[in-house]
Amino acid sequence: MLPVKELQERSDRHPKPSDIKFQYGTAGFRTLGKTLDSVLFRVGVLAALRSKKLDGKTIGVMVTASHNPEPDNGVKLVDPRGEMLESSWEAHATALANAPSSVAFVAAVDELVRATKIDLSIPARVVYARDTRPTGPQLVTALKDGLEAIKAEYRDAGVTTTPVLHYLVRTINTKGTKDSYGEDTEEGYLTKISDAFKKLLAGKPPSPPLLIDCANGVGALMAERFKAYLGDIFTIDVVNADLHTPGVLNNSCGADFVKVNQKLPPSITLQPGQRACSLDGDADRLMYYYADEHGQFHMLDGDKITTLVASYIVELVKASGLDEQIKVGVIQTAYANGSSTKYLSGRLPVKCVPTGVKHLHHAAEQYDVGVYFEANGHGTVLFSPAAQELISSHTPSSALTNLRNIIDVINQTVGDALSDAFLVEAVLAHKSFSGVEWDSMYCDLPNRLVKVVVSDRNAFKTADAERRLVSPPGLQVKVDELMRKYGGGRSFVRPSGTEDVVRVYAEAATRAEADELAFRVAGLVYDEAGGDPSQRPK
Ligand code: G16
């Protein structure tokens, strides 16, 4: 039986703001943190129902707004194997979040229980964590109220990164089984990844210290903790690790800043030849870069990471004699640089899917080894159970040992900036590559990303893995006309699922053309949708 009275009374303490329509988007609910109290309460209830539906498996709840500005916050649910919430439940999340009153909320819960045939007698288990945002503690209080209202068992994983929370969900649910993924603690996470990394670096010439820009977010805590586990095998220099000054999170630093502005955070200076990387606010995205011999900045984004990592895994699979049994594939989105797609397509199967790790992750599961990194640096590598079984049972060789350690250094549950950085460093060490050699695998087409503030981003609808607009009607034809004016130019328009904006991407043969195409398409979007005049793209 549903504890109707309890649910209703507690829900009354978390009223839904009448003027906001919440939406479970690219990465859960995400908007101004101070408006999310009711959403967190209801997500607590929803997470418990999801757990009951899945026979009491532990569900994860992460309170974060990742790359967004500090006043934003958000919440996303994590399914039992550490993957994003099954998409059919996103609509349930949106429905519960938008019930106008506590009575309507309880009715919506009742409806969900009936529609999805949930056995309420099954216990519910939830693990949650939050990042360092100032609205986090209060939102976690609302979440706990929801969990208690429906009598769920819960575990507080504290202030930690999104990838650690995903790791915990998977390890809790596989504990003591043949699929065990490691110890279900932060120490277990740190040990598993650092041990594999140290084995991969053993016998290699020492790598230079790696400067890590932590976006003044929770990644700084984890990067600091890794130091003790790495010993003197590898040195990390943590910068932008200010977790106390208001307003500094993701501000002029971090992976999104670097990717969008295509320049160094102003707080960082690189010596010629030095490489470094930036995380985002919850440490699930990674952006690399280096200074060349003239001190010039060069970005090594998610596409470059894909190319480096996929090529190395293909080499190892071949050297292990498993290339007939293990096929490696790559997943990209429309944001992938055209040059990367061209380079990879000549060598491997490449698939394009809509933006959002959830889409890439599911597509990657279709391969024996699926490598996915969004251009923004969010990604990981998945090894199918059959591929892992083959790798662990095949005749040992040095290539195979490397492959096994590569599997352990990777957090297969979700994009993990720190684990990905160790993966990159291991591959660079094995290939004896500097940033220059890595970068020279292919040459990026100049590109530009522009945000357009419009009155209603939901008026923009896309098809063909977001590469074409189907609404507003007629706009795609105008974009096509513009594209034709720039030989080899490509542009697309899509609504963001994490910010209240429409995004425009363009790439072309020259920097000037890419900028011009992006801003002209952004102008079209603005004119079509009637954006905020102060924000008209220039
Ligand atoms: C989230 C998603 C990513 C996505 C990004 C931007 O990242 O997890 O998969 O690429 O948002 O999405 P959109 O363009 O729809 O705003 P994060 O790092 O913010 O969680």
Q: What is the CATH number of the domain that holds 362?
A: 3.40.120
ipTM of predicted assembly, 2 dp = 0.96
Q: Quick check: is 519 in a domain?
A: yes
Residue pLDDT, tens place only, 132-171: 999 999 999 999 999 999 999 999 999 999 999 999 999 9
- Report how far ligand 1's centroid is from the alpha carbon of 534 (Å): 25
| Structure letter (DSSP) for residue 121 | T
Q: Can you tell me which atom of ligand 1 is nearest the CA of 498?
A: 16
- pLDDT at residue 120, rounded to an integer: 97
- Same domain for 22 and 148? yes
Q: Can you tell me which atom of ligand 1 is nearest the CA of 503?
A: 14
- What angle do helix axes 417-431 and 398-409 make, rounded to 10 degrees? 160
- Same domain for 91 and 212? no
- Same domain for 22 and 146? yes
- pLDDT at residue 536, rounded to an integer: 67
- pLDDT at residue 488, rounded to an integer: 80
Q: Quick check: is 343 in a domain?
A: yes
Cβ of 122: how many Cβ atoms within 10 Å?
14
Ligand 1 pocket test, pick from 70, 378, 458, 493 with the greatest ligand atom count within 8 Å of Cβ, gives 378
- When pLDDT is averaged across residues 379-399 and rounded to a whole number, the result is 94
Mean pLDDT of the chain: 96
Residue with tokens 């460093």: 425
- Same domain for 273 and 321? no
- Same domain for 48 and 154? yes
- pLDDT at residue 455, rounded to an integer: 87
- Report how far ligand 1's centroid is from the alpha carbon of 301 (Å): 15
284 CB within 6 A, ligand 1: yes
462 CB within 6 A, ligand 1: no
- From CA 402, how far away is CA 6, in angstroms rounded? 54
CATH number, domain containing residue 269: 3.40.120.10
- pLDDT at residue 535, rounded to an integer: 63
For residue 258, give both structure tokens: 């670097």
- pLDDT at residue 225, rounded to an integer: 97
361 CB within 6 A, ligand 1: no
Residue pLDDT, tens place only, 301-312: 999 999 999 999
**pLDDT at 531 > cutoff 90:** no
**pLDDT at 538 > cutoff 70:** no
| Structure letter (DSSP) for residue 538 | -
Q: Which helix (H) or strand (E) holds 452?
A: strand 447-452
Residue type, 334: A
Backbone phi and psi for residue 470, each to the nearest 5 degrees, phi listed first? -105, -15
How far CA 279 is from CA of 154, 212, 419, 461, in Å, comes to 29, 7, 11, 30
Residue pLDDT, tens place only, 16-30: 999 999 999 888 999
**Catalytic residue selected from 11, 38, 51, 66:** 66
- From CA 482, how far away is CA 480, in angstroms rounded? 5
- Same domain for 29 and 79? yes
- The boundaries of the domain holding residue 356 are 302-428
- From CA 316, how far away is CA 284, in angstroms rounded? 26
Residue type, 415: G
**HSE on the CB side for 388, CA within 13 Å?**
17
- Same domain for 18 and 145? yes
Q: Quick check: is 29 in a domain?
A: yes
- When pLDDT is averaged across residues 87-114 and rounded to a whole number, the result is 97
- pLDDT at residue 421, rounded to an integer: 98
For this structure, is 66 an active site residue?
A: yes
Domain count, the chain: 4
- Same domain for 11 and 138? yes
- Same domain for 376 and 488? no
- Same domain for 140 and 229? no
Sign of CA pseudo-dihedral 366, 89, 163, 36? positive
Q: Quick check: is 153 in a domain?
A: yes
- pLDDT at residue 499, rounded to an integer: 87
- Same domain for 336 and 384? yes
Residue pLDDT, tens place only, 50-97: 999 999 999 999 999 999 999 999 999 999 999 999 999 999 999 999
Sign of CA pseudo-dihedral 228, 229, 231, 237? negative
- Binning pLDDT at 50, 70 and 90, where does residue 395 land? confident
Cβ-in-10-Å burial (0-12, 13-18, 19+) of 432 comes to exposed
416 CB within 6 A, ligand 1: no
- Binning pLDDT at 50, 70 and 90, where does residue 199 land? very high
3-state SS string for 262-282: CCCCCCCCCCCCCEEEEECCC
CATH number, domain containing residue 477: 3.30.310.50
Nearest Cα residue to 44 out of 126, 138, 101 = 126
- What residues pair up with 300 in beta bridges, in sequence order? 288
List strand residue ranges (DSSP E) for 306-368, in order.
328-332, 350-352
Q: Quick check: is 178 in a domain?
A: no
- Same domain for 193 and 137? no
- When pLDDT is averaged across residues 207-234 and rounded to a whole number, the result is 97
357 CB within 6 A, ligand 1: yes
Residue pLDDT, tens place only, 397-454: 999 999 999 999 999 999 999 999 999 999 999 999 999 999 999 999 999 999 999 9
